[in-house]
Amino acid sequence: MSDDFGQEQAIRKLAPGKLVIASHNPGKVREIAELLGPYGIEPISAASLDLPEPEETGTTFIANAELKAMQAADLSGLPALADDSGLCVEALGGDPGLFSARWAGPTRDFGLAMQKVWDGVEAKGPDASRSAHFVCALALAWPDGHVEAFEGRVDGMLVWPPRGDKGFGYDPMFQPLGFDISFGEMDPARKHAMSHRADAFARLVAAAF
């Protein structure tokens, strides 16, 4: 298994063919599928295979990504790629972090989740930091239990009200450093070039292809 930052030392290469994307989040599946496009990979979503969503019991992004990838690979008999990602807000001590999806509730209402984040920051007072970062862990697993993990990050700041209708999740309230627009306003191709998921994916590509 690779270390937390996936130092380009994957033991096993990923061959062209079918790959299960171990996620039931349509936006996440679409984004990963677009990143995989140039590599001869045929992405199949876990939802289309009726695979269950495992309980995310890990204490790190990588641990959660690994358990999702390993379950999908085991149940499908195919290699599987899982993502665990989240928004970490400095003023909230790193929350929502691992619980980013849970803050959106059972209906995955990220409008509600963004409001909860902003209310939490506002409650810290006018001098509270608006700094935040996204983390993405990718785990690539095979049916025999082999797994590789890669982690990426992008830093930025919170903006309010949310801006833009592109992306998904917390994207409309996150403005990456060096940009004057939010991920929610950013063209997908531009986001793919510099997001936390792109950072993790670049590490995966360097190792697995």
Q: Which of 83, 84, 171, 199 is catalytic?
A: 84
DSSP β-ladder status, 17-21 and 41-45: parallel
Percent of the chain with pLDDT over 70: 95
What confidence score (pLDDT) does residue 174 get? 98
Asked if 171 and 195 touch (Cβ cutoff 8 Å), the reply is: no
What confidence score (pLDDT) does residue 29 get? 85
The C-alpha atoms of residue 43 and residue 19 are separated, in whole angstroms, by 5
First and final CA of the chain: distance in angstroms? 16
Amino acid at 123: A
The C-alpha atoms of residue 71 and residue 143 are separated, in whole angstroms, by 9
What confidence score (pLDDT) does residue 113 get? 98
What confidence score (pLDDT) does residue 6 get? 40
Percent of the chain with pLDDT over 90: 71
1: confidence class by pLDDT, cuts 50, 70, 90: very low
The larger pLDDT score, comparing residue 172 to residue 25, is at 172
What confidence score (pLDDT) does residue 11 get? 67
Asked if 61 and 135 touch (Cβ cutoff 8 Å), the reply is: yes
The C-alpha atoms of residue 170 and residue 85 are separated, in whole angstroms, by 11
What confidence score (pLDDT) does residue 56 get? 87
Q: Where are the domains of the chain?
A: 17-208
What CATH code is assigned to 17-208?
A: 3.90.950.10
Q: Please give the full DSSP string across the chain, using - where no structure is assigned.
A: ---TT--S--SSPPPSEEEEE----HHHHHHHHHHHGGGTEEEEETGGGTPPPPP---SSHHHHHHHHHHHHHHHHSS-EEEEEEEEEEGGGTT-BGGGTTGGGTTTT-HHHHHHHHHHHHHTT-TT---EEEEEEEEEEE-TTS-EEEEEEEEEEEE-SS---SSS-TTGGGEEETT-SS-GGGS-HHHHHTTSHHHHHHHHHHHHH-
Catalytic annotation present for 84:
yes
| Strand order, beta sheet including 131-141 | 41-45, 17-21, 80-89, 131-141, 147-158, 174-176
The larger pLDDT score, comparing residue 94 to residue 6, is at 94
